[in-house]
Amino acid sequence: MKKIRFWSGDIAAAEGAIAAGCRFFAGYPITPASDIAEHMALRLPQENGIFIQMEDELASMAAILGASWGGAKVMTATSGPGFSLMQENIGLGAITETPCVVADVQRAGPSTGMPTLVGQGDVMQSRWGSHGDYETIVISPSSPQESFDLIIRAFNLAELYRVPVIFLMDECVAHMSERVVVPPKEKIEVVERLKPSMPPEQYMPFKPLNNIAPMAIAGMGYKIHVTGLTHNEKGYPQTTSTEVQEWMIRHICDKIRKNERKIRDIEEYEMDDAEIAVVSFGIAGRSAKAAVKIARKHGIKAGLIRLKTIWPFPEEYFENAADNIKKFIVAEINYGQVKLEVERSIHGKASVELLPKFGGAVHTPMEIYNKIKEAKNGN
Amino acid sequence: MEIEAEANPMDKYLRADRIPHIWCPGCGLGIVLNAFLHAIDELKIDMDELAIVSGIGCTGRIAGYINCDSYHTTHGRAIPFATGLRLANPEMKVVVISGDGDLFAIGGNHFIHAARRNIDITVIGVNNYNYGMTGGQLGPTTPLGARTTTSPYGNVEHPFNLCHVAHASGAVYVARWTVLHAVRLKNSIKEAMNKNGFSFIEVIAACPTTYGRRNKMPTGLDEMKYYREHSIIRHGIDPSQANIEIGKDIIVGKFIDIEKPTYSDAFEELKKRVKK
Ligand SMILES: Cc1ncc(C[n+]2csc(CCOP(=O)(O)OP(=O)(O)O)c2C)c(N)n1
Ligand code: SF4
Ligand SMILES: [Mg+2]
């Protein structure tokens, strides 16, 4: 039977993670993500899982990678300063193809910034934060309900693609409490990672079979070597082979890039005949939706494109959308991040305008509506 | 004429396809590896249940040569990675083998906290008094006055006494040997791996290439001679009395061997108390 709950986004994300099978959480307290850790500390022992508060975010990220190789579904949660500290080991997760979910509950930055207030300034960092070429999947919920539903998807994608998935929340979504419908257990789709079944002498731990290599966890008897160095299909370091480097980078990037369409999750609202599209995500996406409603009341053909997955960026989607749109207004709580991606994707087919908020507050629907109105009037 | 090399009884524990190793002639790391392999051989460890985790450095390469599940992580983060692995998979024996810089400079915070929590892992810290991999820079164990590439006029920093750090942080087993004490080292590794909780062994190892050369011990043999002349065994001594200084005795031995509940023991207890 489904259950109705009144949860904050943080609690909903924690419960969603547990519903997805997360049984290992390592983290370090930071506003506005601490509620996730606190809820995990309460709930995981009940579910025969493990919660551990580490000494910092470097350790938290390393611990979840280790636990993932130990066989658990794993998660950590943090905010900007901690997310910055996690970046090196997010890269280790990417190169070793380790399934894990990292919730980054964004507050206004840079640095310590505005610890208790909203921001959406980590969009680029969630994709490019670690050094070198790699890909992540980045999911952004707009409500506690989506925090629950989409974090389950985050775990499923992490396991399916063997990749760190960033659950990019924001302070408002994390701290607001709303009705959350929790489906019955049997209605929740949960994906388990593919494990090898061939004899050890035939197993190549990093050789993809249909895009992804089966993952041998510790103790299965495969005796694998896992390294953050450039490695071949066997997992052995190959630190001077440009061929192996190319093969490996193509693999860790293309397994995501080539599946962009499958990973893509976008809410379209009033887009059928829209001439002006507001692009937004997270909490700003809700103001954007309200603004579109107001615009429609005034007879303006405006629509909403709300990104539930931000990375891999849906370039193809935007390029197609631009055939019918005169102007994109990108409403985000930063000084222009998704805006750059929209611009890049549409190849000049339409104009793109940024409607920034600098952190600490969410756009009001009227602010966004006024931009729509200006666009309509050709300003 | 072809000479057929006789198989070494330890070969079965190595990844033959990864040999030759990267280490320099005279490096102490081969002795550490050998002692470790003899220890697991005598302990009859099931290699399917052994995981080795290391950070980055010359020492960090040990994991990759041993034929078991092995994880070569990032610089300094072997211990938290091992913590996650051990907690998520309690069937595994988890051993961290890494360098002095990796474990005590960039990763120092993780060392003290894993010891404090009494995470059930064995840490073998190879102390070669410098950063071997990156060309012989100053590290947290470089003795006062020693010359390294970043202390060309002699080191002015006070070094860590690693066994004292381990003891103060809560380790249940603490021992120090040099690579000259290969058999004692092996015995200590066996004891440490049989301990329930956070066990630590410091191994003082020759690094002729980047350390010895600059400190009047240009070959591995010179360093071994130094250990023979200067090391004295003092089991049970308070580790705070075992600082390392150039020209003074190196005190080695088993310093600490105590019992206390591990993190896993305590967490299992907690889970039993928690009713859904
Ligand atoms: C974050 C980061 N900083 C610096 C380095 C460069 N680096 C690689 S190994 C190493 C020091 C290794 O020294 P130690 O741990 O003592 O190992 P040894 O080589 O002496 O065995 C450093 C600084 C790195 N790999 N990662
Ligand atoms: S640099 Fe030093 S520690 Fe590294 S392999 Fe050479 S001798 Fe050994
Ligand atoms: Mg060293």
Angle at B30 between CA A236 and CA B230, to 5 degrees: 150
Instruction: Give the SS3 label for residue A227.
Output: strand
Cα–Cα distance, A265 to B223 (Å, whole number): 62
Residue range A75-107, pLDDT digits in tens: 999 999 999 999 999 999 999 999 999 999 999
CB B64 within 8 A of CB B33: no
Q: Which atom of ligand 2 is nearest to the CA of B23?
A: 5
Cα–Cα distance, B78 to B94 (Å, whole number): 11
Long-range Cβ contact pairs of B15-22 (< 8 A, separation 24 or more)? B15/A225, B15/B64, B15/B65, B15/B66, B15/B67, B17/A236, B18/A236, B18/B64, B18/B65, B19/B65, B21/B61, B21/B65, B22/B58, B22/B61
How far does A117 lie from chain B, in Å, by closest CA?
30
Cα four-point dihedral sign A319, A321, A326, A327: negative
Cα–Cα distance, B170 to B111 (Å, whole number): 10
Comparing alpha-carbon positions, the chain A residue that sits nearest to B13 is A223
CB contact under 8 A, A62 and B86: no
Predicted TM-score (pTM) of the model is 0.98
Q: Which atom of ligand 1 is nearest to the CA of B59?
A: 21
List of chain A residues whose C-beta atoms are within 8 Å of the C-beta of residue B76: 58
Ligand 1 site-directed mutation target among B75, B97, B160, B204, most atoms within 8 Å of CB: B75
Residue-wise over A274-299: b if at least 16 C-beta within 10 A, else e? bebbbbbbbbbbbbbbbbbebbbeee
Q: Quote the ipTM score.
A: 0.98
CB A184 within 8 A of CB A2: yes
What does each of the 276 residues of chain B score in pLDDT, given as a tens digit? 566 778 889 999 999 999 999 999 999 999 999 999 999 999 999 999 999 999 999 999 999 999 999 999 999 999 999 999 999 999 999 999 999 999 999 999 999 999 999 999 999 999 999 999 999 999 999 999 999 999 999 999 999 999 999 999 999 999 999 999 999 999 999 999 999 999 999 999 999 999 999 999 999 999 999 999 999 999 999 999 999 999 999 999 999 999 999 999 999 999 999 975
B residues 213-272 near A, CB within 8 Å?
Answer: 263, 267, 270-271
Residue range A295-351, pLDDT digits in tens: 999 999 999 999 999 999 999 999 999 999 999 999 999 999 999 999 999 999 999
Residue range A228-239, pLDDT digits in tens: 999 999 999 999
Comparing alpha-carbon positions, the chain B residue that sits nearest to A24 is B88
Residue type, B171: A
Interface of A with B (CB under 8 A): 23-24, 26, 45-46, 48, 50, 52, 54-56, 58-60, 62-72, 74, 88-89, 92, 216-229, 236-237
- The verdict on whether omega for the bond into residue A32 sits within 30 degrees of 0, i.e. cis, is yes
Q: How many CB atoms lie within 10 A of CB B108?
A: 18
Cα–Cα distance, A181 to A175 (Å, whole number): 17
The CB of B125 under 6 Å from ligand 1? The reply is no
The whole-chain average pLDDT of chain A stands at 98
Residue type, B228: R
Note the ligand closest to the C-alpha atom of B104.
Answer: 1
Angle at B209 between CA B205 and CA B214, to 5 degrees: 95
- As a whole number, mean pLDDT of residues A10-36 equals 98
Question: How confident is the model at residue A85, as a pLDDT?
Answer: 98
Question: Tokens 């615009």 — which residue?
Answer: A295
Residue type, A44: L
List of chain A residues whose C-beta atoms are within 8 Å of the C-beta of residue B48: 219-221, 223
Q: Is B85 on the interface with A (CB under 8 A)?
A: yes
Long-range Cβ contact pairs of B137-146 (< 8 A, separation 24 or more)? B139/B100, B139/B101, B139/B104, B139/B105, B140/B100, B140/B101, B140/B104, B140/B105, B140/B108, B141/B100, B141/B104, B141/B244, B143/B244, B143/B245, B143/B246, B144/B245, B144/B246, B145/B246, B146/B211, B146/B214, B146/B215, B146/B246
Instruction: Give the SS3 label for residue A8.
Output: strand
Bridge-based pairing of strands A302-307 and A276-280 is: parallel
Comparing alpha-carbon positions, the chain B residue that sits nearest to A226 is B71
* Nearest partner of B214 among B264, B160, B150, judged by Cα: B150
Q: Give the Å distances, CA to CA, from A124 to A45, A169, A335, A344.
A: 35, 14, 12, 14
CATH tag, B16-239+248-275: 3.40.50.970
List of chain B residues whose C-beta atoms are within 8 Å of the C-beta of residue A205: none
Question: Tokens 């220890």 — which residue?
Answer: B39
Domains in chain A and their CATH numbers?
3-187 (3.40.50.970), 266-376 (3.40.50.920)
* Nearest partner of A12 among A163, A160, A182, judged by Cα: A182
List of chain A residues whose C-beta atoms are within 8 Å of the C-beta of residue B63: 225
Comparing alpha-carbon positions, the chain A residue that sits nearest to B92 is A219
Q: Give the Å distances, CA to CA, from A96 to B42, B67, B172.
A: 33, 18, 33
How many angstroms does the Cα of residue B209 sit away from the middle of ligand 3? 12
Question: How confident is the model at residue A235, as a pLDDT?
Answer: 97
**Structural domain boundaries in chain B:** 16-239+248-275
Q: How many CB atoms lie within 10 A of CB B116?
A: 15
Residue B29 CB partners (closer than 8 Å, separation 6+): B23, B58, B59, B61, B62, B126, B205
Q: Which residues pair with A50 in a beta bridge?
A: A24
Residue A244 CB partners (closer than 8 Å, separation 6+): A230, A231, A232, A238
Q: Give the Å distances, CA to CA, from A40 to A32, A71, A155, B267.
A: 15, 19, 16, 14
H or E segment and range at residue B175: strand B173-178
List of chain B residues whose C-beta atoms are within 8 Å of the C-beta of residue A229: 72
Q: How many CA within 13 A on the CB side of residue A71?
A: 16
User: Which residue of B79, B87, B276 is the best one to mutate when testing the A interface, meaning the one whose CB has the most A CBs within 10 A?
Assistant: B87
Q: How many CA within 13 A on the CB side of residue B257?
A: 16
